[in-house]
Chains A and B, each alone.
Chain A
Amino acid sequence: MIQLFQVSKSFQRQQVLDRLDLQVKDGDRIALIGQNGAGKTTLIRSLLGQYEHQGKLRVLERDPRSERVEVLQHVGFVPQHPPPLQMNAGELIAFADSLSEKPLSQKVFELSQELELDLHEHSSKPFFKLSGGMKQKLLIALTLSKEPDLLIMDEPAANLDPSGRKAFFHQLSRLPESTTMLLSSHRVDELLSLVNRVVEMDCGSIVLDEPLNEGISQGRLMGCELTLHEVNNSIRKVLESWQFRNGAEPGRYHGEIVEEDRTRFISAISHFSHHIRGLQLGNS
């Protein structure tokens, strides 16, 4: 799917990619991790044919620069920060649809619905006026509707709410096994159960390239029961945002979280640790 041989890239005198070698097979699901400035975005832009570079780079056996249209027909991309597009959401869908070999519109509506984005309500709004989460959901729906062979996502879940993330991870789990994924993130814990390989970059080099033995558990749900000393509005709101329900006993809440989200969930409730009497987390 992807081959890099001694790929280097520098801006003025600063080396951003330093003689990278990387082979990615069809169906590989890679967590691309690293600090800011490690070279992740430069690598992604090179794969999308947006940067010139030294060395040899092939995506789907083609040069993504000289054959970018042919390559990009099979690539889906979600950027970290949604761009401030002036067009409205409906126009963006129609525009992407007009460029795609497959019809996208119907699928985008369905996928958006799953992500709890109502396009019937928001399609006439300018894209840049949508909330961060809505923009991200729309870009995800657009990308997944293409059913790309190579999916490149830069911090895709960063702006999503818990239920949106749950739906998103579920959507990823439904992708065909042959789909290759490159998911870039600062937080490796979020991606671990989605990927079968971790590539870490630092200062433009690959410092770690390891297969994951645990395998993929995309979208697996974990049951959670939380017992509180006292319930106040703040913690109730947080739990409701995670779609937790109040049990028969007051102060006892239960719900389900996606396995990829457990660290995020624990982090969200940690602000209320003095209210928590008990927490049980296990396979659903």
Chain B
Amino acid sequence: MNPSSTSQRGSTPFKSVTLLDLRESVRARWFLVYLLIFGGAVVVLISLGITESRVMGFTGLTRLLITYFQLCIAILPIFILITTVRTVVGERESNVLEYLLSMPIPLGAYYWGKLTARFLVVFLPVFGALALSITWGTLQNLTIPWQAVSYYTLMLATLAWCFLGFGMFLSTLVRKQEWAMGLAFLSWLLLLLFLDAILIGVMLQHKLQEEVIIGITLLNPLQVFRTGAMLLFDPELTILGPASYVILDFFGKQGYLTFCIGYPMLLGWVFSLLGFRLFKKGDLV
């Protein structure tokens, strides 16, 4: 190795931290698994001929994207949480943070650099998989639902940002990795349960107004992503039944799509800012 071959002189600390975390993440085993699941999923879906099948009236690329978003909703959040919640607390426990923060790195550069790198690492494979499915669809002369694909990409980006922010928040909140993992898993489970099971139970027990129940439902970013993705391919939201009237009457189609992008992004920012506040406050290591 030449002493000057890897020089990053002139980089800002933010860029140095981002590049470093990107390199480390790309080499990590979890990233390989992640790449195989989300990148490989599209290849598997295509090779299984899922675009040719017809389920509930959806065919072609639309069918492939619907299957892909179901996969994303089930795995993406927990994958992001598991890999992000250890970021700060893990480096604290292993004394990596003690060493890194003995260097002149601004705390903001460290925190936001890590978050940016994780976002790129999480989002780019998913984006790549989408691009692959579109390329394949184009080659097969399938109709590309461009508007739906664009919204869907934005929704995936904001969902990733939302859970990354939450993961970083948990990572700065606790002092033990086990606690962080436990809390992450519990949160994910609660959000999943609130998708249907718990809400139906609450509704039956307390006979709450439909609007209240739907209001609670829409606080759940998983539900927002799910219904938003449905709306892209089913403009009347017939799959949702009566709830669709409340949502569409209140928001309208365009308004709801905007909400589906804006709300998770806002949550992501709120949690990541809270995480940064916690990180800066108190003992750093």
A residues whose Cβ falls under 8 Å from a Cβ of B: 45, 48-52, 68-70, 72-73, 75, 77, 79, 81-87, 90-91, 93-100, 103, 105-106, 108-109, 119-120, 123-124, 139
Contacts and interface: CB of A to CB of B under 8 A. Distances in A.
5 contacts: A51-B283, A77-B102, A83-B98, A96-B103, A99-B103
B27 interface: yes
A37 B257 CA distance: 57
Interface stretch (B3-11, B119-127, B198-206): B3-11
Interface stretch (B16-24, B54-62, B208-216, B258-266): B16-24
Given A87-B20, A90-B6, A105-B7, A81 B95 contact: yes
Contact of A48 (B11, B94, B102): B102
Nearest to B5: A90
Q: Which 10 A-B pairs have the closest CB atoms?
A: A94-B6, A98-B8, A123-B1, A77-B102, A72-B104, A105-B3, A83-B96, A98-B16, A50-B284, A86-B24
A106 B2 CA distance: 9
B99 interface: yes
B104 A73 contact: yes
Given A105-B3, A106-B3, A94 B103 contact: no
A87 B24 contact: yes
B285 interface: yes
A95 B1 contact: no
Nearest to A109: B3
B13 interface: yes
A97 B8 contact: yes
Contact of B9 (A70, A75, A98, A139): A98
A123 B282 CA distance: 36
Contact of A69 (B24, B99, B104): B104
Contacts of B102: 48, 50, 72, 75, 77, 79
A45 B99 CA distance: 10
Contacts of A87: 20, 23-24
Contacts, number: 100
B207 to A, nearest CB: 47
A41 to B, nearest CB: 9
B8 A95 contact: yes
Contacts of A83: 94-96, 98-100
Contact of A86 (B7, B8, B27, B105): B27
B106 interface: yes
B22 to A, nearest CB: 11
A247 B103 CA distance: 48
B1 A90 contact: yes
Contacts of B28: 86
B239 interface: no
Given A51-B284, A72-B104, A91-B23, A99 B16 contact: yes
Nearest to A142: B103
Nearest to B4: A105
B23 A50 contact: no
Contact of B98 (A45, A70, A105): A45
Contact of B1 (A52, A82, A97, A119): A119
B88 to A, nearest CB: 13
Contacts of B282: 52
Given A69-B106, A99-B16, A124-B1, 16 more contacts: A50-B285, A72-B104, A77-B99, A81-B95, A82-B99, A84-B94, A84-B96, A87-B24, A90-B6, A91-B20, A97-B9, A103-B9, A105-B3, A105-B7, A109-B3, A119-B1
A138 B6 CA distance: 16
B101 interface: yes
Contacts of B106: 69
A50 B95 CA distance: 12
A75 B10 CA distance: 20
Contact of A98 (B3, B11, B27): B11
B104 A99 contact: yes
Nearest to B25: A86
Contacts of B285: 45, 50-51
A93 B6 CA distance: 8
A95 B20 contact: yes
Contacts of A85: 96, 99
A99 B13 contact: yes
Nearest to A75: B102
Nearest to A120: B1
A72 B7 CA distance: 20
A94 B284 contact: no
Contact of A50 (B7, B9, B104, B283): B283
B110 to A, nearest CB: 11
Interface in B124-163: none
A281 to B, nearest CB: 37
